């Protein structure tokens, strides 16, 4: 079962993606996918504090929030938030503040990275612990993230709008009493200027330990914690198609010096300088040609997309890579499995000569194999778990490869961290 299937159970993942994702919230009461069962170990708010207080996380910020009374609506009456150092999170909580901070637990990061891969999300991953002392409430607001809330300890009351009020917002905003959105950092763009918003038709949901709540981007939500509550929030920022196109175009365009600078100019007559205009005109025509040259059925676009799916962001990827399993000796009777220390994605594409080729991405490692070895490697990924000697028949050749030929290949995959002795 994938992380997504465990989280959604009993809703089938295909139904979720087709009917719910991005459109409706989904609440599962105690369906079995507790945080402990997902992580394979108990995890409480004490672990959250202990991990944050460990050395090495001083660069991270934890938001502590002070609440004056109940502030369910009205962006103007916002609670006051400030940042504390990770090591001060517990002190802030004991002083009666709500605390929201990045989770740094390797097990939790792995879980979130696998969920991201299960959903083929190519956007940024966020995972935060959210701790309320009780008696606090968070005002109605919208977020840009596609998010899964896992209630771990205590209860939390949620108020969620029946549908998103804004499709795929790019930033968070609070709902004002006058029915408009309040953006804390800057004025709204035209498409963000909504009016007549009303949070009174929100649905009330009480999350208890073991409950899961999915909230799509743009959904109005507010929370209230009567008593102490700890939840883990895994979210993904939707990726913009433009940023994906840049991954394709940047390596092509940036090879040219003209794409690495804007022209010098000393004009100051209030018009667009002639040099700038000419430079941009030339770049726009090159960009048109570069866009037309993108082959969506070719191997390169697929490789870039698969790599984006397997890469949960540099910080998370580095944390996952630190737990890469050590390669061990592989015997014919060894029971092997594709490792799960980091999600795997692969691109199956013919190379220029029409030969099959496979590219496998997992955390820091990238394996590119053409020819008959590609078929072998694809079979390894499909099997997931297998006896080493059975791999003799994995390559699409007759007769099956002798063990002497298979053993070094399996050893190489072990060195890469892609396969390891299966846990019994």
Give 51 or 143: the residue with its C-beta nearer to Fe ion: 143
Q: Which stretch binds Fe ion (CB under 5 A): 11-19, 141-149, 192-200, 345-353?
A: 141-149
Give 143 or 153: the residue with its C-beta nearer to Fe ion: 143
Q: Which stretch binds Fe ion (CB under 5 A): 91-99, 139-147, 295-303, 378-386?
A: 139-147
Least gap, CB of 227 to Fe ion (angstroms): 20
Least gap, CB of 298 to Fe ion (angstroms): 40
Least gap, CB of 123 to Fe ion (angstroms): 16
Q: Which stretch binds Fe ion (CB under 5 A): 138-146, 158-166, 179-187, 200-208?
A: 138-146
Length of the chain in residues, anyone?
A: 424
Give 143 or 211: the residue with its C-beta nearer to Fe ion: 143
Decide if residue 143 touches Fe ion (CB under 5 A): yes
Give 143 or 146: the residue with its C-beta nearer to Fe ion: 143
Least gap, CB of 341 to Fe ion (angstroms): 30
Give 117 or 221: the residue with its C-beta nearer to Fe ion: 221
Least gap, CB of 219 to Fe ion (angstroms): 9
Least gap, CB of 145 to Fe ion (angstroms): 8
Q: Which stretch binds Fe ion (CB under 5 A): 14-22, 91-99, 135-143, 184-192?
A: 135-143
Count of residues that interact with Fe ion, criterion CB under 5 A: 1
Decide if residue 118 touches Fe ion (CB under 5 A): no
Q: Which ranges of 152-262 does DSSP label H, i.e. alpha helix?
A: 241-253
Closest CA to 93 of 47, 136, 133, 144: 133
Residue nearest to Fe ion (CB): 143
Decide if residue 224 touches Fe ion (CB under 5 A): no
Give 140 or 363: the residue with its C-beta nearer to Fe ion: 140
Contact 230, 152 (CB under 8 A): yes
Least gap, CB of 66 to Fe ion (angstroms): 18
Least gap, CB of 49 to Fe ion (angstroms): 22
Least gap, CB of 143 to Fe ion (angstroms): 4
3-state secondary structure the chain: CCHHHHHHCCCCHHHHHHHHCCCCCEEECCCCCCHHHHHCCCCCHHHHHHHHHCCCCCCCCEEEEECCCCCCCCHHHCCEEEEECHHHHHHHHHCCCEEEEECCCHHHHHHHHHHHHHCCCCCCEEEEEEEECCCEEEEEEECCCEEEEEEEEECEEEEECCCCCCCCCCCCEEECCCCCEECCCCCCCHHHCCCCCCHHHCEEEEECCCCEEEECCCCCEEEEECCCEEEEEEEECCCCHHHHHHHHHHHHHCCCHHHCCCCCCCCCCCCCCHHHHHHHHHHHHHHHHHHHCCCCCCHHHHHHHHHHHHCCCHHHHHHHHCCCCCCCCCCCCCEEEECCCCCEEEEEEECCCCCEEEEEEECCEEEEEECHHHHHHHHHHHHCEEEHHHHHHCCCCCCCCCHHHHHHHHHHHHHCCCEEECCC
Give 90 or 143: the residue with its C-beta nearer to Fe ion: 143
Give 47 or 146: the residue with its C-beta nearer to Fe ion: 146
Give 100 or 380: the residue with its C-beta nearer to Fe ion: 100
The residues binding Fe ion (CB under 5 A) are 143
């Amino acid at each position: 079962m994938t992380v997504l299937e465990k989280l959604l159970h009993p809703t089938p993942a295909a139904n979720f993606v087709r009917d719910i994702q991005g459109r409706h919230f989904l609440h599962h009461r105690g369906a079995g996918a507790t945080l402990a069962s997902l992580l394979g170990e108990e995890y409480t708010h004490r672990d959250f504090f202990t991990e944050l207080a460990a050395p090495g996380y001083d660069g991270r910020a934890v938001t502590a929030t002070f609440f004056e009374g109940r502030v369910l609506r009205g962006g103007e009456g916002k609670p006051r938030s400030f940042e504390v150092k990770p090591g001060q999170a517990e002190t802030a909580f004991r002083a009666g503040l709500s605390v929201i901070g990045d989770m740094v637990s390797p097990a939790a990061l792995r879980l979130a990275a696998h969920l991201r891969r299960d959903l083929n999300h190519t956007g940024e991953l966020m995972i935060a612990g959210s701790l309320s002392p009780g008696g606090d409430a968070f005002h109605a607001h919208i977020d840009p993230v596609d998010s899964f809330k896992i209630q771990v300890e205590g209860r939390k009351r949620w108020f969620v709008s029946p549908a998103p009020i804004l499709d795929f917002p790019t930033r968070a905003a609070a709902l004002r009493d006058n029915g408009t959105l309040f953006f804390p950092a800057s004025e709204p763009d035209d498409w963000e200027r909504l009016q007549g918003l009303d949070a009174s038709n929100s649905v009330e949901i009480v999350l208890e330990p073991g409950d899961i709540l999915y909230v799509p981007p743009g959904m109005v939500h507010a929370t209230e914690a009567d008593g102490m509550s700890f939840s883990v929030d895994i979210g993904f920022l939707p990726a913009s198609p433009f940023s994906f196109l840049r991954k394709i175009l940047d390596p092509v365009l940036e090879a040219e010096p003209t794409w690495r600078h804007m022209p010098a100019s000393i004009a100051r007559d209030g018009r667009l300088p002639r040099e700038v205009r000419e430079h941009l005109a030339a770049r726009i025509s090159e960009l048109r040609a570069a866009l037309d040259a993108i082959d969506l059925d070719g191997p390169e676009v697929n490789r870039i997309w698969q790599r984006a799916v397997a890469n949960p962001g540099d910080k998370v990827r580095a944390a996952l890579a630190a737990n890469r399993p050590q390669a061990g000796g592989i015997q014919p009777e060894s029971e092997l499995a594709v490792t799960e220390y980091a999600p795997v994605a692969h691109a199956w594409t013919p190379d220029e000569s029409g030969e099959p080729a496979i590219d496998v991405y997992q955390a820091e490692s990238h394996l590119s194999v053409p020819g008959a070895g590609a078929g072998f490697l694809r079979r390894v990924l499909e099997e997931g778990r297998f006896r080493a000697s059975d791999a003799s028949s994995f390559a699409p050749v007759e007769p099956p490869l002798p063990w002497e030929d298979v053993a070094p290949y399996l050893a190489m995959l072990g060195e890469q961290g892609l396969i390891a002795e299966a846990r019994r």
